[in-house]
Amino acid sequence: MISELVLPFDFALIIITATLLGFLTKKTGQPTIVAYIFTGLLLGPVFLNAVSESALTRLISELGLGFLLFLVGIELDFEEIRDILGSVTKIALGQTVLQTALAFAVSYMLGFTLIETSVLAVATVFGATPVVIKILSDKDELSTLPSKIDVGVLIIQDIILIVTLTVLSVDSFGNVSQVATSILKILGMSGAIAGLSFVSSRWILPDIFERIADNKQALLIYGITWAFTFISLASYLGISIEVGAFLAGLSLGQLPYSQELQERVRPITNFFIMIFFSSIGLSIDAASLTAYWKEAFIGAGVLMAGNFLIMFYLIDRENFTPETSFLGSINMTQVSEFSLVVGAAAAAKGFIGDEIIGYLSMMALITMSLSAYLINYNRDIYSKIEHLLSRFDSEDKQDIEIKKLENHAVIIGYDTVTKNLIDILEDRFEDIVVIDNGTKNIDELARSEVEFIHADVKHSEIRNAAGIKKAKLIVNMSSDFQASKEIIEYAGRKPTIFVKANSLEEAGELYEMGAHYVMIKHMLTGEKLSEYVQLYIEDRELFKQEVSSELDRIRYGGRN
């Protein structure tokens, strides 16, 4: 009975500690992955030795890695970098070669063996995709050119990561011909699964998900079922389950429902990767973590500086401006969490010991902590040293124009009322973004010239993607009172906000929060909304008078 109770207690202790540390790291601007690794170090042999790695944590850890790559696959959208794909490919390939060479030289000079050096060189080449994308998204910079370059490079690195994990899944490296045969076999089977992923995304998944996309619980269940289908197929074929999970996500990422699915899968993924990175800390003892602590600080410093210079050189060589080269480089200085993924795979094959995992953990903690601040203050740093970079500028250097959401309106919910409203707004605003989580209008919106996001506006990532804080006008057609409150609070005072209420009481509260006009559900007509929006555009003073009359009516309980 005692043994049956210990396991859940240990597991609960990991979750509680990781949650508390995660809260603290968010307050200090650190990536939560740092908190998860430190959770394992704190509870494991390094500090308290209160929890040991169990079969349960190992199982969930393996699923955590699979779900992390599943989410990465869903987030991959080559359309996002289509205009700069040629430049991004050159930068990514050049970065992979140069950074691997630098990491190899640094590791070898620090005294590691040839095998350890080779593993470290491969492990430290990848960028921290979740960390970089999360911080840039929070800063509302994902749509900028430097961020587009970084995301493109990260996409190509993720593909290289999958190939690396595939190679490391080979059973034995003893015989060269057997190794080559095994690698070709694994790559062939991975290619077959990739082909299935492509075919599914074109001819199978759209029809299936169109039928269930309105049911958000079903959307999540079908998405996870699809992930486990590919994980099981990969396991059956004897290849890495991470490959299967990534390809499952990649096929789902091409659907119009991918953004909604991302936000549904993300909390589950966060839970699994919390256990994954905590378990890495649990598997390290104090001696392993500190065995190469001096080398970790030296390696971290050299690699961060070297990664920056390599990226700056490669971006500058593609004739981008110094500002783009600087910002795109300073965002990519970290040794990522994927270094631990590759290190764990290499350790499982016996190529490296626990002390090398400790070295990688130290470097990841150091570089991710520092790079979080570098990304957060990237533009402030650039403004301080801009004059030093002027010598890299020239007349032939210019940035590719990336479409930005400026002077735009956001419409939440699409129906006949908002369809007519779009016609009025098109002449006034440069861009119109429609957020709608229904399925019946997807084809119509996809063919239109408006920016369309199929997702629930309650997700902060979706509000960020729609540029709600920068919008000039927001029209929310949802009757969800809580959603309207969240939108007003999130948007702040800058946009003009039209929202809908179910009663006069709700309308009064929404006005108090900062709404400029509240449409009361049982009084709303499409013509009336169009009139008010037209009035807002053409005569602000008269619009304010109408709103003032509306407020008087609400104060007197709806009596005229």
Q: pLDDT: is 231 or 168 the higher one?
A: 231
pLDDT digits (tens, 9 = 90+) for 477-499: 888 899 899 999 988 878 889 99
What's the token pair of residue 553? 């009516």
By CB atoms closer than 10 A (0-12, 13-18, 19+), residue 327 is buried
pLDDT digits (tens, 9 = 90+) for 255-296: 888 888 988 888 888 888 888 888 888 888 888 888 999 999
Q: pLDDT: is 216 or 555 the higher one?
A: 216
Mean pLDDT computed over 175-187? 71
Whether residue 72 has pLDDT greater than 80: no
DSSP characters over 126-139: ---HHHHHHHHHHT
| Long-range contacts formed by 495-503: CB under 8 A, 24+ apart | 495/410, 495/468, 495/469, 495/470, 495/471, 496/472, 496/536, 497/473, 498/473, 498/474, 498/529, 498/532, 498/533, 499/474, 500/476, 500/524
The reported pLDDT for the residue numbered 86 is: 82
Distance CA 72, CA 341 (A): 14
Model confidence band, residue 350 (pLDDT cutoffs 50, 70, 90): confident
Residue-averaged pLDDT of the chain: 84
| Identity at 83, one-letter amino acid code | D
36 in Cβ contact with 61 (< 8 Å): no
- DSSP-derived secondary structure letter, 399: P
Whether residue 110 has pLDDT greater than 90: yes
What's the token pair of residue 19? 């949650």
Task: Kindly compute the dihedral angle of the four CA atoms of residues 205, 82, 67, 43, in this order, to the nearest 10 degrees.
Answer: -170
| Minimum mean pLDDT range among 187-196, 198-207, 361-370 | 187-196
Enumerate residues 6+ apart whose C-beta is below 8 A from 435.
410, 411, 412, 413, 453, 455, 457, 462, 466
Mean pLDDT computed over 53-67? 80
In the chain, pLDDT over 70 holds for what percent of residues?
91
pLDDT digits (tens, 9 = 90+) for 155-164: 788 778 877 8
Whether residue 120 has pLDDT greater than 90: yes
DSSP characters over 369-392: HHHHHHHHTHHHHHHHHGGGGGGG
Q: pLDDT: is 415 or 83 the higher one?
A: 415
Distances (CA, A) of 13 to 7, 18, 22, 57, 508: 10, 8, 14, 12, 45
The reported pLDDT for the residue numbered 288 is: 87
pLDDT digits (tens, 9 = 90+) for 229-257: 999 998 888 777 877 888 898 889 888 88
354 in Cβ contact with 145 (< 8 Å): no
By CB atoms closer than 10 A (0-12, 13-18, 19+), residue 489 is exposed
Mean pLDDT computed over 187-193? 81
367 in Cβ contact with 333 (< 8 Å): yes
Mean pLDDT computed over 84-98? 88
Whether residue 79 has pLDDT greater than 70: no
Mean pLDDT computed over 39-49? 91
pLDDT digits (tens, 9 = 90+) for 527-545: 677 777 887 777 777 877 7
Whether residue 1 has pLDDT greater than 50: no
pLDDT digits (tens, 9 = 90+) for 315-343: 999 988 999 999 999 999 988 878 888 89
Which domains are seen in the chain, by residue range? 2-391 (1.20.1530.20), 408-555 (3.40.50.720)
The reported pLDDT for the residue numbered 555 is: 62
Whether residue 402 has pLDDT greater than 80: no
Helix (H), strand (E), coil (C) string for 151-196: HHHHHHHHHHHHHHHHHHCCCCCCCHHHHHHHHHHHHHHHHHHHHH
| Minimum mean pLDDT range among 61-70, 89-98, 251-260 | 61-70
Model confidence band, residue 17 (pLDDT cutoffs 50, 70, 90): very high
Model confidence band, residue 2 (pLDDT cutoffs 50, 70, 90): very low
Q: pLDDT: is 398 or 427 the higher one?
A: 427
Model confidence band, residue 80 (pLDDT cutoffs 50, 70, 90): low
